[in-house]
């Protein structure tokens, strides 16, 4: 019996070793042979650049505190009397994606630099023509209205930095005026298939590298912010008509910057079934704004924009109470201010922020986009749009669309600068009437 037990023990040990060789060795091979999945931590930053924006936290972290429920000024603003201060600044390099928070921002012709210069678009096919049988195809922007997970696509702005040890004048990111790093969540197939088992180890490796065993793996790619003519030709960008609601500007199709497998993963994550690509505004074909915007006679130049819905700039006051889950970022403004009474901005016509003057062009008519939680990508069927409709149907031109926040145009085509803490001065008040697209 003792001899049999010893044989059983030896057999069990051999079985254990064999099992380890079968399951562990392939994983070790996979460890060395398969590429890593990133968890949003870049192994190497874009050469010659530094990251723009806040390192940690947000200037809106305290937005639900009691002090913001009351105005710090007794009226709507009088000439030469500051009414409030800039609380936070944001830019959205890719339309509908998660923003980058800044301490200070440069004002350019299209609004705030780096804001809404890119947009994802899907190819929409029309009905075949009866006489020819031909079918029309149109690239049309996508937003978080239809694809809420866009808000979970994160962007980083990296700008050229001569102090960087990797800086050279001919560096690809330096000549492109910076780099946009795009990251989105993507968990690969982890079924019992051959590829699935290999992906299990990819996920484990990524989580080990991040020190977070619950983190969702991510996929990243990089874009030149302002590609050179040489890169446009080498990467075979195309200039194509892009449907931005009712506008049809010519824009640069920069989809060749994204590897096909990464684009396929992004489509899956977003839930897009049609062909998907990425567009950048073409600096040779900026969109002129006439609806709701100031005239050339008023500000000395015809306002132009990148790929936002309307005027070059937006602002909205931080939340005045309300549910704590209603993050002000939902309203996707560039400038958030504190100080004035609630909705004082409804009557502003010209203001100065710091040393930069703006024409307050019109109110912002709201759609369902604020119903999307920007952190989770989850869209609520009703709120906050339903509540806004109960008390913010204030502009006859907007019809049944509630208004919150204002769209603004820099008065000088040469731009300027705004910083967190800048004082806001109301220069002129008046009436507004929203003009629908």
Classify strands 335-338 and 82-91 as parallel, antiparallel or unpaired: antiparallel
179 is a domain residue: yes
23 is a domain residue: no
Cα 281 to Cα 119: distance, rounded to the nearest angstrom: 8
pLDDT of residue 356: 93
User: With 0-12 CB in 10 A as exposed, 13-18 as middle and 19+ as buried, what is 45?
Assistant: middle
Residue in 102, 86, 104 with CA at minimum distance from that of residue 423: 86
User: With 0-12 CB in 10 A as exposed, 13-18 as middle and 19+ as buried, what is 19?
Assistant: exposed
44 is a domain residue: no
188 is a domain residue: yes
Cα 392 to Cα 372: distance, rounded to the nearest angstrom: 19
Which mean pLDDT values do the consecutive 10-residue runs of the chain (437 residues) have?
48 43 38 41 81 93 85 68 92 96 92 94 84 82 95 97 96 97 87 66 72 81 96 96 89 97 96 97 75 65 58 46 66 92 91 92 91 89 90 93 90 86 94 88
112 is a domain residue: yes
pLDDT of residue 296: 63
- Gyration radius of the chain's alpha carbons: 26
391 is a domain residue: yes
Cα 349 to Cα 102: distance, rounded to the nearest angstrom: 26
Token representation of residue 124:
């929409």
pLDDT of residue 305: 58
12 is a domain residue: no
Q: How many helices (H) and strands (E) does the chain have?
A: 7, 22
Token representation of residue 187:
């968990």
- 93 touches 115 (CB < 8 A): yes
pLDDT of residue 381: 85
- 342 touches 317 (CB < 8 A): yes
Q: Over 381-426, what HEC string results? A: CCCCHHHHHHHCCCCHHHCCCCEEEEEEEECCCCCEEEECCCEEEE
Provide the H-helix boundaries in 306-393. 385-391
| Domain residue limits at 79 | 49-429
Cα 212 to Cα 282: distance, rounded to the nearest angstrom: 41
Cα 148 to Cα 371: distance, rounded to the nearest angstrom: 9
Cα 133 to Cα 346: distance, rounded to the nearest angstrom: 51
Predicted TM-score (pTM) of the model is: 0.81
Give the chain's domain count: 1
Given its phi and psi angles, is residue 380 left (phi above 0), alpha (psi -120 to 50 degrees) or beta? Answer: beta
pLDDT of residue 220: 95
116 is a domain residue: yes
């Amino acid at each position: 019996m003792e001899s049999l037990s010893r044989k059983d023990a030896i057999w069990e040990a051999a079985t254990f070793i064999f099992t380890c060789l079968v399951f562990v060795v392939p994983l070790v091979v996979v460890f060395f042979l398969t590429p890593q999945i990133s968890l949003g931590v870049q192994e190497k930053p874009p050469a010659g650049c530094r990251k723009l924006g806040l390192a940690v936290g947000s200037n809106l972290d305290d937005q639900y505190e009691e002090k913001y429920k009351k105005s710090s000024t007794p009226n709507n603003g009088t000439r030469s009397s500051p009414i409030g201060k800039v609380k936070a600044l944001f830019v959205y390099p890719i339309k509908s994606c998660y923003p980058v928070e800044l301490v200070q921002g440069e004002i350019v012709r299209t609004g705030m630099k780096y804001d809404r210069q890119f947009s994802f678009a899907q190819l929409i096919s029309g009905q075949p023509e009866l006489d020819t049988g031909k079918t029309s195809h149109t690239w049309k922007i996508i937003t978080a209205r239809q694809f809420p997970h866009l808000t979970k696509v994160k962007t980083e702005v990296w700008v050229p930095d001569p102090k960087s040890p990797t800086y050279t004048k001919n560096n690809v990111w330096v000549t492109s005026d910076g780099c946009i790093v795009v990251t989105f969540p993507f968990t690969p197939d982890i079924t019992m298939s051959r590829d699935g088992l290999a992906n299990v180890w990819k996920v484990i490796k990524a989580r080990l590298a991040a020190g977070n065993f619950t983190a969702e793996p991510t996929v990243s790619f990089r874009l030149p912010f302002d590609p050179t003519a040489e890169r446009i030709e080498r990467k075979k960008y195309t200039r194509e008509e892009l449907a931005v609601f009712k506008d049809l500007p010519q824009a640069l199709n920069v989809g060749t910057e994204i590897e096909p497998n990464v684009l396929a993963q992004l489509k899956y994550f977003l839930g897009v079934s049609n062909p998907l690509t990425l567009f950048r505004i073409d600096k040779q074909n900026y969109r002129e704004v006439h609806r709701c915007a100031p005239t050339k006679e008023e500000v000395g130049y015809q306002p132009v924009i990148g790929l936002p819905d309307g005027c070059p700039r937006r602002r909205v006051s931080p939340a005045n109470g309300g549910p704590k889950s209603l993050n002000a970022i939902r309203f996707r403004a560039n400038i958030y201010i504190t100080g004035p009474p609630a909705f004082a901005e409804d009557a502003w016509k010209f203001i100065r922020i710091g040393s930069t003057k703006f024409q307050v062009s019109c109110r912002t008519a709201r759609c369902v986009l604020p119903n999307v939680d920007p952190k989770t990508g989850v869209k609520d069927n009703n709120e906050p749009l339903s509540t806004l409709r109960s008390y913010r149907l204030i502009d006859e031109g907007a019809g049944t669309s509630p208004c919150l926040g204002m769209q603004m145009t820099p008065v000088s085509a040469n731009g300027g600068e705004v910083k967190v803490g800048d004082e806001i001065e109301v220069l002129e008040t008046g009436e507004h009437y929203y003009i629908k697209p």
